[in-house]
Amino acid sequence: MSAPAEWMVLLRHGHSEWNLSDRFTGWSDIPLTEVGIAEAAAAGRRLVQAGLAFDEVHGSVLQRTRQTAEALLTAMGTPEVPLYTTWRLNERHYGTLQGMNKQEIFATWGEQASRRWWRGYVEPPPSLDWDDPRHPRFDPLYAALASDGLPASESLRDCQQRMLPYWNDVLVPRLRAGRRLLVISHGNTLRGLVMHLEGLSAEEMERVEIPSGVPLRVRFAADLTVLGHEWLAVPAVVPVA
């Protein structure tokens, strides 16, 4: 019988197209920029330097995580490592904020409420209307899921509760079997996972930042309790003029 894994790596996808205009992306399926792809490749080289290799990669169904996985695994020289995707690892759904930039949001709802929505744990942003074309029920990516189970907006707590069944039912058994896992996801989804793993309060979670393109290695005891974590620093990627 395999010994439980001693570590797991978490990674937030690289720079995407909507980062350029400071727009809230959420479940919008926006691709990486060339900088984002270069960030993923740099993370892959850093992981090789750290002596790490993977049996499996798990990511969201959004293309920016798939592109990150492909560029990273290619840079590691292991493009054959399987990638498993699930909507449960999607970014938090930002409701009506999706597609808007921060200045537009401030102008519409005010800065205080807006910051409470995107940094707080409990309160979700305003929901999309059922017939809004941005609602995920219209997206072919989710055609196999029940429409009434798809979010029209999520708080960080909602996002965390949507993600945790995948952690408990899929990732934990693989870690117990000794599988070396890389989880490529999104800032809020990974914040919720870190909060769960390290037993952080809602107040402590609000101070947690997950930088894009920087691997986070989480170390486990034999019972998969968290012993600690470390960031694997990656040289900054400079855009080509």
Question: What is the C-alpha to C-alpha distance for residues 120 and 108, in angstroms, rounded to an integer?
Answer: 19
Side chain identity at 204, as an amino acid letter?
E
Give the residue with greater pLDDT, 67 vs 116: 67
Nearest CA to 11 among 74, 52, 59, 56? 59
In CATH, what number is assigned to the domain containing residue 49?
A: 3.40.50.1240
pLDDT in tens, 69-90: 999 999 999 999 999 999 999 9
| Structural domain contains residue 70 | yes
Residue 103: CB partners within 8 Å, gap ≥ 6? 22
**Boundaries of domain holding 66:** 7-93+164-231
181-185, strands of its sheet edge to edge: 83-85, 56-59, 181-185, 7-12, 216-220, 226-231
| Structural domain contains residue 216 | yes
pLDDT at position 241, please? Answer: 45
pLDDT at position 89, please? Answer: 98
Dihedral angle at the C-alpha atoms of 85, 190, 107, 133, nearest 10 degrees? 20
CA neighbours closer than 13 Å in the CB half-sphere of residue 237: 20
| Structural domain contains residue 153 | no
pLDDT at 214 over 50: yes
Tokens of 21: 């205009």
| Structural domain contains residue 183 | yes
pLDDT at position 239, please? Answer: 59
| Structural domain contains residue 82 | yes
Overall number of domains in the chain: 1
| Structural domain contains residue 224 | yes
Query: Which residues have a catalytic role annotated?
Result: 13, 91
Dihedral angle at the C-alpha atoms of 49, 52, 54, 60, nearest 10 degrees? -70
| Structural domain contains residue 131 | no
Percent of the chain with pLDDT over 90: 80
pLDDT in tens, 90-132: 999 999 999 898 889 989 998 888 888 877 899 999 999 999 9
The stretch 52-73 carries a mean pLDDT of 98
| Structural domain contains residue 85 | yes
pLDDT at 1 over 70: no
